[in-house]
Amino acid sequence: MIATSNAGKLVELQQMLAGSTVDLSCLADFTSVVEVDETGSTFEENASLKACGYASQTGLATLADDSGLEVDALGGRPGVLSARYGGDDTSFAEKMIMLLDEMKQSGSSYRGARFICSIAIADKNGRLIRRENGICEGTIALKPSGVRGFGYDPIFIPDGHTETFGELSEAIKREIGHRGRAFAKILPFLHEFIDI
């Protein structure tokens, strides 16, 4: 089970596991599942909470991830609160403006930042059996640019590039992005686990 309601994530993992006989399901397939609260202080803790919590509820081995943006000038914020930064009702367009304003007010000219993704796998009994991280270092752009991707992508310029994730192709983003790097690390274990 993939602990997401995001159909895109499910398709992405199905493509990575092409040729496998495993059946993948997601949260939308379980109407009685209670949402697991992300109370951890790190991405790893939240991914683990979700993997173990949903595995315990469904009785299926579960993969969960948690990811977000850390900005050095803001002391690592928004971090684990990336999706809820500024409140649940705040759009990402508003979140980006707020973040850029806070950077301006910080007095720091340093624009270093990173996207982090932590992936956790729990067995069908809800026991954590694997965890991996992917990190993509970069800088924060002066203003949003591009319409690709989602979230903070239009203000994040990955190292080695001059365009934001909002401008770069999905293929490049999958190759160098935090989620792609985390999946690449966990994929060998996942293939081995599925074949057992």
Active site residues: 66
Where residue 87 falls (left for φ over 0; alpha for ψ -120 to 50; beta otherwise) is: left
Any idea how long the chain is? 196
Could you give the CA distance from residue 60 to residue 3 in angstroms, rounded to a whole number?
Answer: 11
Could you give the CA distance from residue 130 to residue 120 in angstroms, rounded to a whole number?
Answer: 6
**CA proximity to 128, closest of 189, 191, 41:** 189
